[in-house]
């Protein structure tokens, strides 16, 4: 494998971050090969010019739809685009193999069609990297990492200027209601953090899908709390890299926090943490014995949170 490399990766934020270890293998094996990502731009930007990818392109183009229909005429410009790569690694769900046959029709020479579906046989990052084993690239470290640019870090520094340290961030949402801990319990966590004088400032982070949770948390008017919504992902990752503790669910934002190097306390419910939890060393998962997220007691979360904050204080881990 040499020359230009294309990685096609749709899916949500967590899916993309779990694929970064596989992309890392490609970068390490072929450091001089230009690598492009075809994906959702607001997510793939985490990779562009930030170690993994030299460029990115939107997967949401309407012209791409012809590659999923066996009889539709192929867009000439897109056909030249795909033919211009020496190697393509595709994580498109392609059960009937229409997409891969259309890519070959367009002139794609070397194609690895990898299933994005994740089973229960090992960590998700390892499963996503398995197709590369045919090139003797075996994933030893499944932990994902991001590499913010100097501009990202500078913007985060400006955003956080004047806020007391240490910083604690919480994200009370996820992509599924079944993975969300009850909001009333999050409000107890919020109140405990704001009472804790070992915490300099609390950051509550989220996006549009987290509006109900963020709306309730905004009611706790405090000079020691800031609510951050809809930050560009490179900026959010840089902000989280400055936090001494992050608390969240099984969510893309939690994967981002772990990849940014934050110490993470993650609340899991129905999903298997052996498969889906970030594999980074500084990640601790809390899960009820019956795997029901509502069964996880607030006291347990608060206890582990306070122990972690005490550890942060003792070791002076202020970022």
Q: What is the pLDDT of residue 188?
A: 97
Query: What is the structure's pLDDT at 316?
Result: 54
Q: How far apart are CA 261 and CA 157, in angstroms?
A: 16
Reduce the DSSP state of residue 245 to 3 states and report it. strand
Q: What value does the mean pLDDT of the chain take?
A: 95
Percent of the chain at pLDDT > 90 equals 95
Q: What is the mean pLDDT of residues 57-86?
A: 96
**Residue 307 predicted with pLDDT over 80:** yes
pLDDT at site 221: 82
Mean pLDDT value across residues 22-29: 97
pLDDT at 94 over 90: yes
Average pLDDT over residues 83-89: 97
pLDDT, tens digit, 9 for 90 and up, residues 39-66: 999 999 999 999 999 999 999 999 999 9
7 and 37 Cβ atoms separated by less than 8 Å: yes
Can you tell me the distance from the alpha carbon of 9 to that of 2, in angstroms, rounded to the nearest whole number?
20
pLDDT, mean of residues 141-151: 98
Mean pLDDT, residues 6-28 taken together = 98
pLDDT at 33: 96
pLDDT at 2: 66
Residue 241 pLDDT > 80, yes or no?
Answer: yes
154 is written with which tokens? Answer: 């500078």
Region 128-132: what's the mean pLDDT? 98
- Nearest 5°: phi and psi at 73? -70, 135
Quick check: pTM over 0.75? yes
Strand order from edge to edge, sheet including 167-170: 225-229, 201-206, 167-170, 245-248, 264-268, 283-287
Instruction: Give all domains of the chain, ordered by start, each with its CATH number.
Output: 5-135 (3.40.50.2000), 150-315 (3.40.50.2000)
- Whether residue 218 is predicted with pLDDT greater than 70 in this model: the reply is yes
- Segment 248-259 shows an average pLDDT of 98
DSSP conformational letter for 66: G
Whole-number Å distance between alpha carbons of 148 and 285: 25
Read off the pLDDT of residues 164-183 as tens digits, 9 standing for 90 and up. Answer: 999 999 999 999 999 999 99
Residue 311, pLDDT score: 87
The confidence band for 312, taking pLDDT boundaries of 50, 70 and 90, is confident
Closest by CA to 194, choosing from 309, 76, 285, is 309
Using the predicted structure, report yes or no on whether residue 1 has a pLDDT greater than 60. Answer: no
User: Is 314's pLDDT higher than 90?
Assistant: no
Once rounded to an integer, what is the mean pLDDT over residues 223-246? 98
Rounded mean pLDDT, 219-231: 95
Res 259 pLDDT > 60: yes
317 against 210, higher pLDDT: 210
């Amino acid at each position: 494998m040499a020359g230009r490399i294309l990685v096609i990766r749709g899916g949500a934020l967590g899916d993309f971050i779990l694929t970064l270890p596989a992309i890392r293998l490609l970068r390490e094996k072929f450091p001089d090969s230009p690598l492009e990502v075809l994906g959702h731009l607001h997510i793939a930007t985490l990779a562009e010019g930030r170690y993994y990818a030299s460029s990115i392109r939107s997967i949401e183009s309407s012209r791409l739809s012809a590659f999923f229909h066996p009889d539709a005429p192929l867009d000439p410009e897109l056909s030249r685009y795909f033919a211009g790569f020496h190697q393509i690694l595709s994580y498109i769900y392609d059960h009937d193999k229409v997409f891969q046959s259309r890519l070959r029709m367009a002139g794609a020479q070397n194609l690895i069609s990898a299933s994005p579906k994740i089973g229960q046989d090992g960590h998700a990052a390892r499963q996503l990297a398995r197709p590369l084993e045919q090139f003797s690239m075996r994933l030893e470290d499944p932990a994902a990492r991001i590499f913010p640019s100097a501009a990202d870090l500078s913007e985060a520094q400006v955003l956080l200027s004047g806020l007391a340290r240490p910083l604690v961030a919480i994200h009370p949402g996820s992509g599924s209601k079944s993975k969300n801990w009850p909001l009333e319990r999050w409000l107890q966590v919020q109140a405990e953090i704001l009472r804790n004088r070992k915490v300099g400032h609390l950051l509550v982070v989220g996006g549009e899908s987290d509006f109900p949770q963020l709306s309730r948390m905004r009611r706790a008017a405090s000079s020691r709390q800031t609510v951050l919504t809809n930050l560009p992902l490179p900026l959010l990752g840089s902000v989280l890299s400055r936090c001494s503790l992050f608390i969240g669910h099984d969510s893309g934002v939690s994967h981002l926090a772990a990849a940014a190097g934050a110490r993470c306390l993650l609340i899991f419910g129905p999903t298997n943490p052996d498969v889906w939890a970030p594999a980074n060393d500084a990640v601790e998962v809390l899960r009820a014995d019956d795997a029901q997220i509502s069964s996880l007691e607030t006291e347990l979360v608060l206890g582990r949170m306070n122990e972690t904050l005490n550890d942060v204080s003792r070791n002076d881990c202020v970022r």
